[in-house]
Amino acid sequence: MIKGSRPTKKTDIHARTLEERTPIILNCYEQPIGPTPKDVKDLSRFLGTIARTTEFAPLNYVDWPSVPTHDQIWEYVLEKFMIPPKGRSWVLETVNLSWCGYKSKLKKMYLEAVEKGSNLDELYELVPEDELKDLISYWNTSPAKEQSKKNKRNREKLDDMHTMGPSSYAALRHKLKQEDPNKQEPSKAKVYRESRIRNPKKNI
């Protein structure tokens, strides 16, 4: 593990030894589907913690391809999970999505702090000072503001989000296939319907 990194959650997985690694099964699309749904969710949540660990995923880069630690991330993940080499792309893309989501959350916190006229102490607890200064500087550029407006417009069009939480479409497809008497791949329509089922006990 990179010296000084501070995982925020899933400490049990970060503490695993090589002998304690969980094997991961991939489907034909090179996406995790097992051995169990819990293993897939654990992997996904674990990758989310890596995206929030600045030594692995520095925040002061404009885009994911320019982040220089892809190899280090993959090597570290292999210390905690046994994943076939073909799973590397999925792993890095999952970290990428979490990294972008985390930056979006930090930006919202920053804008709210500015609007309230409060200090940035809470942000400094999450992000190294030099990285936060770089982020703020970028957020205030014209290209960043234009991209933010575009992203906001696109988000407003999303009125049919899935309800799967940390579960993936790959895991859902695998589950539906196993439940089918003939073990046939589920149709896109069925996957879509199942991914939108809401828990009636939750007030959404």
- Asked, for residue 183, whether it belongs to a domain, the answer is yes
Higher-confidence residue of 183 and 79: namely 79
Q: Which amino acid is at 127?
A: V
Q: Are residues 171 and 117 in the same domain?
A: no
CA distance 165 to 194: 13
Number of domains present in the structure of the chain: 2
Specify the pLDDT at position 4: 39
| Cα 10 to the center of its chain, rounded Å | 14
Q: Are residues 176 and 141 in the same domain?
A: no
102-116 average pLDDT score: 92
Q: Are residues 68 and 145 in the same domain?
A: yes
pTM for this model (two decimals):
0.76
- Asked, for residue 39, whether it belongs to a domain, the answer is yes
Checking if the pLDDT of 6 tops 70, the result is no
**What is the helix (H) or strand (E) element at residue 88, kind and residue range?**
helix 88-116
Q: Are residues 203 and 172 in the same domain?
A: yes
Average model confidence (pLDDT) for the chain?
A: 85
- Asked, for residue 6, whether it belongs to a domain, the answer is no
Angle at 197 between CA 195 and CA 201, to 5 degrees: 140
How sure is the predictor about 202, in pLDDT bands with cuts at 50, 70 and 90? Answer: low
Specify the pLDDT at position 9: 79
Q: Are residues 169 and 91 in the same domain?
A: no
Q: Are residues 62 and 105 in the same domain?
A: yes
Q: Are residues 116 and 170 in the same domain?
A: no
Q: Which domain holds residue 33?
A: 11-159
- pLDDT of 131-154, one tens digit each? 999 999 999 999 988 888 877 776
- Asked, for residue 3, whether it belongs to a domain, the answer is no
For 11-23, b/e burial (b = at least 16 CB within 10 A) is eebbeeeeeebbe
Q: Are residues 40 and 55 in the same domain?
A: yes
CA distance 52 to 39: 20
Higher-confidence residue of 186 and 156: namely 186
Specify the pLDDT at position 160: 63
Extended strands (E) in the chain: 22-23, 25-26, 32-34, 81-82
Checking if the pLDDT of 25 tops 80, the result is yes
Specify the pLDDT at position 204: 44
Q: Are residues 151 and 204 in the same domain?
A: no
Checking if the pLDDT of 62 tops 60, the result is yes
Q: Are residues 173 and 147 in the same domain?
A: no
CA distance 167 to 17: 25
Q: Which residues pair with 34 in a beta bridge?
A: 25
